[in-house]
Amino acid sequence: MVFETTGKELTSITEWEISSNYLTSADGFSFTAVADNMDDLRNLELQPVELKVNGCSQVLGRIDKTTMGGNGTAVSFWGRDYIADLVECNVDPTLKIKTGDSIAAAFTAAAGPVGIDTVISDDDLAMRNVRTGVSVKFAKGGRGYAKRILQEYKPKKGEGLYEFLNRLIQRFGATIQPGNDRNTLIITAPHYQQEPTYSVFRSTDPAISSVNNVISSTADRDYSSFPTFALFTGWAAQNDDQGVASQQAYDINNLAELQNSEIARILADSTIPGRRKPNGSDSIGLGQLYRLLYLHDHEARSQEQVSYSALRAIADRLKTTLEYKCTLRGHVDPVSGAVWSVDTMVNVADEICNVFEPLWIVERTLKMNPKEGATTELVCYRPASFQFGNLDGTQGQ
């Protein structure tokens, strides 16, 4: 760990943890350090730090909290990455995002007070390459979110800066991610069609179990809130003062077939294809299982944005069909040499959990302590668990 203001590296760390979640606002970290001279560990609150693992930058953050006590030889530290500055800051209530502004221009205008002067897309910089230390290959290139054009948006009274920016960018099916310096934000969405960077293997065969890289694992399959039909409405603006109602409908059976054969099989066992649709249309049969998901997006400004809202809501319910968690040995995949990171794909072959498919890493925690040594904890979902598909209904890129 390096203190950015002084360039000093803290080497007396006895244990540490770095937690990253692609779908939350800020990554967190904690560590405990000892020193012969305790003055070296005092007055470090709010200090900017960079955390590296295997030479790869993982977090550009700031120390939020320290705890001293005990025998007086150690100090514990907690902090978050620099996105936390947006979380802790309210948006300027006089800010105005005008029709025709680009996302980059709107973000820099709103986040300028916390030092953000550059907003780019993942076609300009992919942080997964920075964090893993390897080049991750994609089937397709970036999507140019930073250059997308907005319509008028206004902050709500008392709204947080991150909350406002995230509300804006959700209209495009994207997320806010940290960049490789404190002045930069990256607007991106998962690339589900990237090549898997890692492999997870767990076998019950004693003859080959020695090559397992899994310490423990679980697989939750939860269909309790799974819808069978989805209907979404919004207001697609035509100009500054008028608009037209917009509607989007999805049959989950059709989407499930695109995502995973296991989902399609379970749905086929529990539903009848001709079940009743809203408004009495296609009323062929009521079916064994009928769950209508209906949502209205009052902030949508176009048919495209209604579709993004719909596909994200569907994905949020699809992802619970498989949540795979595992604890691995070390911080680096032994085959690829890549540091485990979020927003990457992993090939999973786990006989105990009956999981044999590529999964998307949404959360990753790197740990080091004297008792367990170096370990990595992963939370994985099926691809399309954040934004299901393109606007034509095919699986997301």
Q: Is 187 helix (H, G, I), strand (E, B) or coil?
A: strand
How many of the other CB atoms lie within 10 Å of CB of 363? 17
Phi, psi of 279 (to 5 degrees): 65, 15
**Predicted local confidence at residue 302, as pLDDT:** 75
Fill in the amino acid letter for 269: D
Query: Is residue 143 a part of any domain in this protein?
Result: yes
Report, as an integer, the average pLDDT of 247-276: 71
Q: By residue range, what is the domain housing residue 116?
A: 86-188
| CATH number, domain containing residue 359 | 2.30.300.10
How many of the other CB atoms lie within 10 Å of CB of 106? 23
CA 29 to chain CA mean position, Å: 17
DSSP state of 320: G
| CATH number, domain containing residue 95 | 3.55.50.10
- Indicate if the pLDDT at residue 329 is higher than 70: yes
d(CA 149, CA 237): 14
- Residues 119, 256 within the same domain: no
279-311 confidence digits (pLDDT tens): 655 543 444 567 888 888 877 777 778 888 888
**Predicted local confidence at residue 190, as pLDDT:** 86
Alpha helices in the chain (DSSP H): 84-87, 103-111, 127-132, 161-169, 252-259, 261-270, 303-318
- Residues 262, 179 within the same domain: no
Least confident piece of the model among 44-53, 191-200, 286-295, 352-361: 286-295
Q: Is 251 helix (H, G, I), strand (E, B) or coil?
A: strand
Query: Is residue 118 a part of any domain in this protein?
Result: yes
Total number of domains constituting the chain: 4
**Do strands 118-121 and 184-188 pair parallel, antiparallel, or not at all (unpaired)?**
parallel
Query: Is residue 387 a part of any domain in this protein?
Result: no
**Predicted local confidence at residue 47, as pLDDT:** 92
- Indicate if the pLDDT at residue 223 is higher than 70: yes
- Residues 155, 96 within the same domain: yes
Query: Is residue 393 a part of any domain in this protein?
Result: no
d(CA 117, CA 277): 49
- Indicate if the pLDDT at residue 274 is higher than 70: no
d(CA 374, CA 294): 45
Nearest to 105 by CA among 142, 149, 162, 143: 149
Report, as an integer, the average pLDDT of 181-193: 90
- Residues 209, 246 within the same domain: no
- Residues 215, 264 within the same domain: no
- Indicate if the pLDDT at residue 119 is higher than 80: yes
- Residues 346, 213 within the same domain: yes
CA distances from 57 to 26, 224, 269 (A): 15, 39, 47
**Predicted local confidence at residue 323, as pLDDT:** 96
% pLDDT > 90, the chain: 47
d(CA 345, CA 355): 14
- Residues 309, 329 within the same domain: no
- Residues 102, 145 within the same domain: yes
1-53 confidence digits (pLDDT tens): 677 666 777 778 899 999 999 999 899 999 999 887 788 888 889 999 999 99
- Indicate if the pLDDT at residue 393 is higher than 50: no
- Of the segments 104-118, 221-235, 253-267, 271-285, which one has the largest average pLDDT value? 104-118
- Indicate if the pLDDT at residue 241 is higher than 50: no
Query: Is residue 9 a part of any domain in this protein?
Result: yes
Cβ atoms of 175 and 169 closer than 8 Å: yes
Phi, psi of 218 (to 5 degrees): -140, 155
**Predicted local confidence at residue 200, as pLDDT:** 95
- Residues 17, 105 within the same domain: no
- Residues 165, 106 within the same domain: yes
Report residue 276's pLDDT band, with 50, 70 and 90 as the boundaries: low
- Residues 141, 266 within the same domain: no
Query: Is residue 392 a part of any domain in this protein?
Result: no
Q: Which of 314, 337, 353 is the last residue of a domain?
A: 314
- Residues 155, 103 within the same domain: yes
d(CA 40, CA 25): 31
Alpha-carbon Rg for the chain in angstroms: 23
Residue whose pair of structure tokens reads 């090549």 in the numeric block: 195
Query: Is residue 388 a part of any domain in this protein?
Result: no
**Average pLDDT of the chain to the nearest whole number:** 84
Query: Is residue 391 a part of any domain in this protein?
Result: no
**Predicted local confidence at residue 284, as pLDDT:** 39
**Predicted local confidence at residue 140, as pLDDT:** 57
Q: Which of 32, 60, 80 is the last residue of a domain?
A: 80
**Predicted local confidence at residue 245, as pLDDT:** 66
